[in-house]
Structure 1
Amino acid sequence: MADVQAGIGPFLGVFLVAHGWQSGSIGSVMTIGGIAGMVMMAPAGAFIDETTHKRTCVIVLGICTVLASMIILVSQLFWVVALSQVATAIAGAAIGPALNGITLGIVRQAGFNRQNGYNQAFNHAGNLIGAGLSGWLGWMFGLTAVFWLSAVFGVLTIISVLMIPSDAIDDDEARGATLAAVGPIEETEPPRHRKPSGFRVLAESKPLLILAGALALFHLGNGAMLPLFGLAVVSAGQADPAGFVALTVVVAQGIMIITSLIAMHMAERRGQWLVLLVSFASLPIRGFVAAHLITSWGVYPVQVLDGIGAGLQSVAVPTLVARILNGTGRINVGQGVVMTMQGVGASLSPAIGGWLAQEIGYSLMFMILGSFALGSIALWVGFHGVLRVAASAPGRPQGVVFSGD
């Protein structure tokens, strides 16, 4: 699913260049897709909350992603490629909440942290394997092979989803419409069904707003770190562009596999609050390292730190949102809201980083980007009392957080 969700991903630009596209046009279609995906994250989450056909949704979204990628083989007209990127982005925005909903519907609140940890570890492994296979196939048979690989993964995704029994998914649990216990399974009590809350509950949830704000600040600094670090290294003549990009993916995704599993176990013992604090703290360190190691081998510590931050968040964020909105029936739209805030920060980051690099140089720019996460840390520590109930370790006595009061 990781490879289906991304479509042809980073290979799109290379493919379009080979067909005579200029960098400005390529950037434009990517931006159009990015905006569409960001705008649709919350509505997609709301749709997943409402539907009782989550398996069908994942299948349809996977098919749409594959078709959207394949259509570019037929035509490279601007509007065709733009529509393809919009469709891919919207499908990608919906697949995440859909898989979270299916997972929550199968394992319930009590098992979500552990299963989500395994899901994310396999997700990162899929990204790693998919990037490697795509690179090898593209080198051996040309970029067209990358499109066909995406289609193969789409078929495998459909088969995998169909293997999940439809009656295994509790739709009330999948949206958080039951007031279920969040501790270990043996400690749980029968869930108490609730009527879904209004969307106002999202704006009234202080823990959710704090989480969204902290993540927006983190991604404001993190979003441009890798592309600008790559630009700095390549501009200094320290690395081959193609090989360097491949190395960044391999290092980061490999570390994310490990940190996803660590986050799962860490959250079970200490709760999500500490997991996210560590993830926020990784960015200032990464900025400092990037500022002082603009060399080809500097990619290792820089991307290890990226893997730590992203890997921890990939597990802790969905689990914490599910705990915060437990009993509201709005868990997946809440996931979409948080993802939107992450997207806002990440989309603004390249512009801020690019101008800073132009005016004051790469080293100071990396330090400033890293410092944005200090705001995340300040929010996280300053509002620890508000977050404590939702982010405490599973199994401890706690209430369900609606407003954070």
Structure 2
Amino acid sequence: MFDPASSAAVNFFLADVAGGLGPFLPTWFAEALHWSPERIGLIMTLGGVFGLLLNTPGGALVDRFGRPKRLVMAGSSLILLGVATMVIGHALPYVIAGEMIQAMGAAVVGPAMAATTILYVGKRHFPSQQGRNSAWSNAGNVSAAILIFLGARHYGANMPLLVLAGMAALTLITLVILKAPTGASSRIGLASGGEPMGFRDFVRQRPVFIFAVTLLFFNLGNGAMLPLLGLRLAHFGGAHGNDATRWMSLCVIVSQFAMIGVAIGAGRLAEQIGRVPLLIGACALLPVRAVVAAFGIAPIWLIPVEILDAAGAGTIGVITPPLAADLSWGSGRTQTILGFVMTVQGIGAAFSNALGGALIGWLGWKFAFLGLGVPPLSALALALWLRSMTRGHSTD
């Protein structure tokens, strides 16, 4: 039986855990370890590479093993262990080891949560429930960011670590309370007695690849924007009279508040008008965000920049699991394909940080943001192509 209250609590607390230190990580590198933007960009790229190598195997594990609730618990524990390893060690080898452990956990958490949701509500209501899940996740992120903002004055860049530890403990408690879904939990979407799709059939799934590459270009532009805002705040912190950690928490608060409404609306719209039209709209918003971020240097410009982030990235976050399920339903590999899509989009997110750091060194802050607005134009073209291929299907 589906328990909405427990499910909401899991998504609320899991949000901060699943992202590790998230956008606060580059700020922690800069303030606690005193690393340069170029080195920070390289380390975050390495972390992204670890993650993208493990996403598809993580999804395959969920398809084959089932028991997605248990896998969410295991993945959450690994993420916490990875952050602890990185923070306690401080030195470069510990940071790299911590990034690897976090990647192992994150590779399982996403597909396992998607599988759990499908088992509870079914494929038909998956988009709207995914929207509610995202809304609770965003509410959790807002709460964590507020706590970080309030405590940053006393604890500085270490405040995100304290919040993460508390959220992790509460996540595990709520997962224990949450009732496991009933019925078969492996090979979701596969007809009874059917055989899972083979590798040769998988590589022929052109809509899946187009969707994945669309997300690659989207994240190539989007992945580094919020971290670059944090680095710019740290770099010019003296001019604003405030530390970067507190300003970064304000960025997250604004974005996550907006994403709560976006998530609920996107989930409902995804069932009414389809997933691909929302993908097109999200891709069209990102170049606008890049222009605003490039010219809006004053802190007040963080508000429209992060509202655009909510509308674009928030929509992508809601529709990605349902659209991956649409494109792979009946294959017996729904979570493997979701993992593959996350792998490809992770390539864009990982290299986005390196691209952003390089653009700062080559062209300066303004043109770095403008440069990050170019890849989403390719994403927009691919999304329009995907719509032409899927017109008349449940995705459109």
Structure 1-normalised TM-score? 0.83
Q: Which residue number corresponds to residue 189 of structure 1?
A: none
- In structure 2, what is the Cα distance between the partners aligned to 1:381 and 1:17? 39
1:333 aligned to which of 333, 336, 345? 336
- In structure 2, what is the Cα distance between the partners aligned to 1:78 and 1:379? 39
Q: Which runs of 5+ in 2 are unaligned?
A: 1-13
Q: Which residue number corresponds to residue 172 of structure 2?
A: 158
**Do residues 260 (structure 1) and 263 (structure 2) align?**
yes
Q: Which residue number corresponds to residue 249 of structure 1?
A: 252
Q: How does 1:2-401 map to 2 (within 5 A)?
A: 2-11=15-24, 22-23=35-36, 29-72=43-86, 74-140=88-154, 146-172=160-186, 175-178=188-191, 194-231=194-231, 237=239, 240=242, 241-392=244-395
Task: Give the drift of 1:306.
Answer: 0.9
What is the aligned-residue identity percentage? 32
- In structure 2, what is the Cα distance between the partners aligned to 1:16 and 1:220? 21
Q: Tell me which amino acid in the other structure corresponds to 2:15.
A: A
When residues 361 and 316 of structure 1 are mapped into structure 2, their CA distance, relative to the original with a 3 A threshold, is same
Q: Tell me which amino acid in the other structure corresponds to 1:379.
A: L
Task: Give the drift of 1:330.
Answer: 0.8
Q: Tell me which amino acid in the other structure corresponds to 2:276.
A: W
Are the equivalent residues in 2 in contact too, given 1:260–1:311 (CA < 8 A)? yes
When residues 387 and 244 of structure 1 are mapped into structure 2, their CA distance, relative to the original with a 3 A threshold, is same
- In structure 1, what is the Cα distance between the partners aligned to 2:307 and 2:31? 32
When residues 22 and 372 of structure 1 are mapped into structure 2, their CA distance, relative to the original with a 3 A threshold, is closer
Length, aligned pairs only = 379
Task: Give the drift of 1:102.
Answer: 0.9
CA deviation map 1:271-296 (0-9, x unaligned):
01111111011012212323332322
- In structure 2, what is the Cα distance between the partners aligned to 1:196 and 1:261? 33
Larger Rg: 1
SS in 1 for 2:259: helix
When residues 299 and 26 of structure 1 are mapped into structure 2, their CA distance, relative to the original with a 3 A threshold, is closer
Task: Give the drift of 1:155.
Answer: 2.9
Are the equivalent residues in 1 in contact too, given 2:326–2:395 (CA < 8 A)? no
Q: Which runs of 5+ in 1 are unaligned?
A: 179-191, 394-405
Q: Tell me which amino acid in the other structure corresponds to 1:170.
A: A
Q: CA RMSD in A?
A: 2.8
- In structure 1, what is the Cα distance between the partners aligned to 2:109 and 2:198? 23
SS in 1 for 2:391: helix
- In structure 1, what is the Cα distance between the partners aligned to 2:77 and 2:363? 46
When residues 378 and 12 of structure 1 are mapped into structure 2, their CA distance, relative to the original with a 3 A threshold, is closer
Task: Give the drift of 1:137.
Answer: 4.0
Task: Give the drift of 1:74.
Answer: 4.9
CA deviation map 1:17-46 (0-9, x unaligned):
776664477666544432211210111111
Are the equivalent residues in 1 in contact too, given 2:115–2:335 (CA < 8 A)? yes
Q: Tell me which amino acid in the other structure corresponds to 1:223.
A: G
Q: Tell me which amino acid in the other structure corresponds to 1:374.
A: L
Task: Give the drift of 1:333.
Answer: 1.1
Larger relative CO (CA 8 A, sep 6+): 1 or 2? 2
- In structure 2, what is the Cα distance between the partners aligned to 1:21 and 1:294? 23
Are the equivalent residues in 2 in contact too, given 1:55–1:161 (CA < 8 A)? yes
Structure 2-normalised TM-score? 0.85
- In structure 2, what is the Cα distance between the partners aligned to 1:375 and 1:303? 22
Task: Give the drift of 1:316.
Answer: 1.0
When residues 391 and 380 of structure 1 are mapped into structure 2, their CA distance, relative to the original with a 3 A threshold, is farther
CA deviation map 1:111-148 (0-9, x unaligned):
21111111111111111212222343454457666545
